[in-house]
Amino acid sequence: MSKKIIIGNWKLNPITVDEAKTLASKVKHGSQHTVVLCPPTAFLSSVRYPNLGAQDAFWINKGPHTGETSPLQLKSLGISYCIVGHSERRTLGETNEMIREKILAVLNAKMTPVLCVGFGTTMEEDDLEVIDVLRTQLTECLRDVPTGRVIVAYEPVWAISSGNPYATKKMATPEHAEKIAIFIKTKFNIPKVLYGGSITSVNSKEFLDQEHLDGLLVGGASLLPDDFNIIIA
């Protein structure tokens, strides 16, 4: 299997910095894949792991923007990846235009943006309808964006378990994810496409075995070190 990218999105977990440090210390280094941990912003400067990512960033680097975190600040902490446009942020009102600005700011800070798409899809839709939703998201989020360093994560929103490691929703099949990855790569010139949504230590290999899927975005299972170590092994 070629080298893939596996990103653990801890979302708003855990509660304390000590728990965060312990969790990171239990995740193996030296996997055959590139493994990136995305703890909450509050813990980014305390957690030690070879590759760290942020879960979001603002599109302006400095100034009167209370509560925001800028790409240049993240870069100064040694962060190299940044998730952008996660469905849980889109639910709060983030638009494709805001996400586009964030991607540009992340690229300008010399970090790798991980653009999440799939919000707005439903379980009942066929592949063509899903592609319609994705086409709009990708066209708007990537307008005038140089795509050579952009990673896209396809996360059908109905397959995401909202960070609960024990909940597994109906997931997408690896074949469906592969078809969508080929669409994203060929139509939008994206070099790497990941799949995310209810990935577990049991189903991860089937997705990693797909030639056109370049890795995984893992939520709930990334909070369970034993499971996550199986996924990245």
Least distance between ligand PGA and beta carbon 11 (Å):
7
* Residue at shortest CB range from ligand PGA: 219
Active site residues: 86, 155
Nearest to 100 by CA among 154, 54, 164, 144: 144
Q: How far apart are CA 123 and CA 71, in angstroms?
A: 34
Of 92 and 128, the one with the shorter C-beta distance to ligand PGA is 92
Token digits of residue 191: 């070099």
Q: Are 199 and 218 in contact (CB under 8 A)?
A: yes
**C-beta of 131 vs 199, nearer to ligand PGA:** 199
The Cα 104–Cα 126 span in angstroms is 32
Residue 175, classified by CB atoms within 10 Å of its CB into exposed (0-12), middle (13-18) or buried (19+), is exposed
The closest alpha carbon to 215, from 205, 223, 225, 224, belongs to 205
Chain contacts with ligand PGA (rule: CB under 6 A): 9, 155, 160-161, 163, 196-199, 217-221
Give the closest residue to 89 by CA, choosing from 46, 118, 52, 109: 118
Distance in Å, CB of 9 to ligand PGA, minimum: 4
